């Protein structure tokens, strides 16, 4: 009886010692994770991260995480080239041969560009609320601001100025050019269709289906939300509820139709989250009755880990 009790205590001690080790490897992917922001995004402005609370949650369980900054507003190709330069820097600094790219909103097409032109440097591309088949909101902006019009001049001036301010506050200074009208073109239905013809990897061939899970050695994944108003305390939700009307009743996250976010293996495109909730914004004020966005990123890291990525 006494021996059995001692064995039980010993087993408990071993379990206590081993638990932190096991818990600490849940997000430990083989390759570094690189997070890429969307339109008017940033890495961090002071204590506020674009991917709010997500990098630290991933690092806590073993992941190597890098949050990059590209132009807050510019074409997909320009942002993609900026990202490619930083990917090469991350690989040089870490000694890794590839990275796992995760992009939100315009970050979705941005990471796809890098995966397309340099698949040898990319293990996986995960699109979160990615504008992979255009946005009705971008279409409307281009419609009300045609070339040469006063409205385009005003919108472009304000938007470019905002992009410059965001870049400055997040440490980018003047090194990242801002061209909001080029961003709008890239995010429009026509713009994404043209981009997809040049970079089709992972893009579904049906209206709301899945795309190829793996192309040129790169694994493709996506998830997104399908609700616009999710938290009465979030000051951004009313605006997203308004822009969500542009989709004519189709399920959307406020800025992108759910089906238009699909890429590769679709984990889900109907979480009760809006476009900002997908990256745990505004400062964590998301839907209390839906899976936490932080958890979704952790789960994806674990999915990549289990896939040997």
Q: pLDDT truncated to tens, each residue of the chain (309 aa)?
A: 444 544 444 444 444 444 444 558 999 999 999 999 999 887 777 788 999 999 999 999 999 999 999 999 999 999 999 999 999 999 999 999 999 999 999 999 999 999 999 999 999 999 999 999 999 999 999 988 778 776 777 767 666 666 566 666 656 655 788 899 999 999 999 999 999 999 999 999 999 999 999 999 999 999 999 999 999 999 999 999 999 999 999 999 999 999 999 999 999 999 999 999 999 999 999 999 999 999 999 999 999 999 999
Q: Which residues contact 78 (CB under 8 A, 6 or more apart)?
A: 71, 177, 179, 182
Asked if 244 and 228 count as a contact pair (C-beta separation under 8 A), the reply is yes
Question: What is the greatest pairwise CA distance in the chain?
Answer: 89
* Active-site position among 37, 106, 199, 275: 275
Catalytic residue among 43, 75, 104, 105: 105
Q: Are 99 and 123 in contact (CB under 8 A)?
A: yes
Q: Are 254 and 243 in contact (CB under 8 A)?
A: yes
Active site residue 105: yes
Would residue 253 show up in a list of annotated catalytic residues for this protein? yes
Q: Which of 43, 160, 234, 253 is flagged as catalytic? A: 253
Measured distance CA(265)–CA(222) in Å, rounded: 6
Stretch (H or E) spanning 104: strand 99-104
In the residue annotation, 222 being an active-site residue is answered as: no
Residue 252: phi, psi to the nearest 5?
-155, 170
Region label for 179, one of left (φ > 0), alpha (ψ between -120 and 50) or beta (otherwise): beta
């Amino acid at each position: 009886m006494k021996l059995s009790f001692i064995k039980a205590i010993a087993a408990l001690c071993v379990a206590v010692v081993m638990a932190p080790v096991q818990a600490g490897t849940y997000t430990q992917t083989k390759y570094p994770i690189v997070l890429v922001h969307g339109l008017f995004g940033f890495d961090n402005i002071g204590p506020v991260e674009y991917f709010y609370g997500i990098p630290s949650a991933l690092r806590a369980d073993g992941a190597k995480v890098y949050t990059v900054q590209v132009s807050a507003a510019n074409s997909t190709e320009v942002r993609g080239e900026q990202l490619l330069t930083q990917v090469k820097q991350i690989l040089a600094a870490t000694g890794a041969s590839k990275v796992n790219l995760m992009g939100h909103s315009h970050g979705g097409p941005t990471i796809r560009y890098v995966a397309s032109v340099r698949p040898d440097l990319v293990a996986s591309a995960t699109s979160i609320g990615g504008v992979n088949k255009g946005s009705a909101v971008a279409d409307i902006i281009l419609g009300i601001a045609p070339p040469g019009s006063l409205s385009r001049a005003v919108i472009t001036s304000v938007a470019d100025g905002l992009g410059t301010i965001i870049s400055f506050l997040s440490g980018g200074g003047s090194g990242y050019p801002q061209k909001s009208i080029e961003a709008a073109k890239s995010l429009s239905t026509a713009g994404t269709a043209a981009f997809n013809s040049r970079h089709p990897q992972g893009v579904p061939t049906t209206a709301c289906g899945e795309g190829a899970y793996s192309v040129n050695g790169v694994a493709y994944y996506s998830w997104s939300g399908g609700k616009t108003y999710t938290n009465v305390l979030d000051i951004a939700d009313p605006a997203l509820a308004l822009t969500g009307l542009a989709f004519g009743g189709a399920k959307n996250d406020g800025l992108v139709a759910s089906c238009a976010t699909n890429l590769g293996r679709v984990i889900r495109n109907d979480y009760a989250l809006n476009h900002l909730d997908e990256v745990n914004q505004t400062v964590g004020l998301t839907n209390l009755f839906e899976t936490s966005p932080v958890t979704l990123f952790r789960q994806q890291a674990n999915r990549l880990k289990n896939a040997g990525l």
